[in-house]
Amino acid sequence: MRKILFLFLILVVVFSSQIFAAEDTQQERTNAEEDEKTKELEAISAPKPVKEKIAIKYGTWLSSTFRQYKNTDNDNTVPDKLKNSLEQDLRFWMWMTYLKKYSVYLRFRETYIRRSTSTGYTGIKDDAEGPYLDMGYLATNLEFGDIAVNTKLGRQFLLLGRGISFSGVHDGIELILKPPKFYVKGLFAHSNPKDNNLDQSVPEYDKKEERLYLGLEATYTSFYPTIFYIYGFAQRDKQDDHPAGTAQRYQYNSEYLGLGVDKQAKRGFSYWAEFIKEWGRSFNDTTYVDPHRSKIDAWALDVGTRYIFTLPALPTFEAEYALASGDPDRTDVTDTKPGGNQFGRDNNFSYYGYFGTGYALAARLSNLEMLKLQVGLTPVKDAKFAKSVDIGAKFYFYRKNRAEGPIYDTQATESNNDVGKEVNLFLYWQPNDNFYLNIKYGVFYPGDAFPETTNSNTQYFSTRATLKF
């Protein structure tokens, strides 16, 4: 354990001296990292079946992440205001189970971020949070005849479909029924008090998300591992009508219908497809027109396939295509003022989950068409010096759905569909069960959707060392 801890500290120091400059401006990168961490922690710490009548398990998870960016504003003539950041993320978790039917799960978190900045930086510099309750819920696993009934009550990770429309850690209740050949899930939740408002034009948006979520999903499992599902989801914006006394109204209320098919395999073909229809009501940007509510009429599509070859080093190929509607008279895909819908229906697809794009562009799936091609290898598996080593590359091709509309990167102001291309490289090294290292590098090459003054290549680098015990 001492050798592992020493190696952990050495890696933190080494990767804190990389050569790229930085400006941490995109919330979507944070969302991507949080989604990755949440799924890792769910895999290692969620309650699992045990033989004992009463069981208590606990553990600690420590992650150190160094991030550097270059030209996040796509302009290499302007110095990057944020040079680098180093985050320490500590979690302690425990769960207790009784009779294999009842369990309690608790996870606490404390974080510290140090940012090195230059003149002109106006964001948060050094920041510490915690300790606070990251997750905590009561769970039951009961059976009534041939129907299993599972419930969770409290702060938990919730998900519908592939997690695009809705996913994340929230306060609520989840009920799952498992009759033969079906899997039915219902949920009701309130937004996490640690979340920022998705609309960052709302006054005091920081840690001010106030939404209610309601969802129902039915999955047909007769052809497992291929499953078919349908879900309905609604969210209601509960913030003040006129925050801080403003005349602008910001509420965004939406409903979603999702249809999908999914097959995941450890070897051979995996595939997935999900179509999402969104409707509801949003408020227009009163900067340009008189106040009124607009009908939301939006949609998104995500299809993909993966093939893992049964060969040495497990060569993997993956292809994914995604497309989401956009609105031609918006200037921002998340904000209301400035940036919201102006005339007619609001065709911008907005969502409350997560969809992964490249490391450097880190865009949302709004007014965006994306093709991803990925190749990977596992050259080392269960060796003396490493439990596993995974390497790979991702290639992205981006376009606007509506040339005149915005994407998440607000620098893409030209009425042109060509957003650009991106190359990502990654390495995952796990020497043993208690330690692993992620290294990521991405470079985005802007297309003609970016004006000449802001079309410099954007680079992203990160390394995350994680110790669990």
Q: Please give the C-alpha separations between residue 332 and each of 6, 77, 236, 366, 408, in angstroms, as whole numbers.
A: 46, 24, 21, 10, 7
Structure token digits, residue 243: 């925050």
Q: Over its length of 469 residues, how does the chain's per-residue pLDDT go in tens digits?
A: 444 444 444 444 444 333 333 333 446 677 777 878 887 887 777 777 778 889 999 999 999 999 988 887 777 788 777 778 899 999 999 999 998 899 999 999 999 999 888 777 777 788 898 899 999 999 999 999 999 999 999 999 999 999 999 999 999 999 999 999 999 999 999 999 888 888 877 777 666 788 999 999 999 999 999 999 999 999 999 887 666 667 778 889 999 999 999 999 989 999 999 999 999 998 877 777 677 788 999 999 999 999 999 999 999 999 999 999 999 988 889 888 777 778 889 999 999 999 999 999 999 999 999 999 999 999 988 887 788 999 999 999 999 999 999 999 988 999 999 999 999 999 999 998 899 999 999 999 999 999 988 888 999 999 999 999 8
**Cβ of 57: how many Cβ atoms within 10 Å?**
15
* Alpha-carbon span 469 to 467, nearest angstrom: 7
| Rounded distance between C-alpha atoms, residue 11 and residue 224, angstroms | 42
pTM of the model: 0.90
String of DSSP letters for 398-433:
EEESSTTS--SSTT--SS-SEEEEEEEEEEEEEEET
Distances from the Cα of 244 to the Cα of 187, 195, 204, 211, 382, angstroms: 32, 19, 8, 18, 58
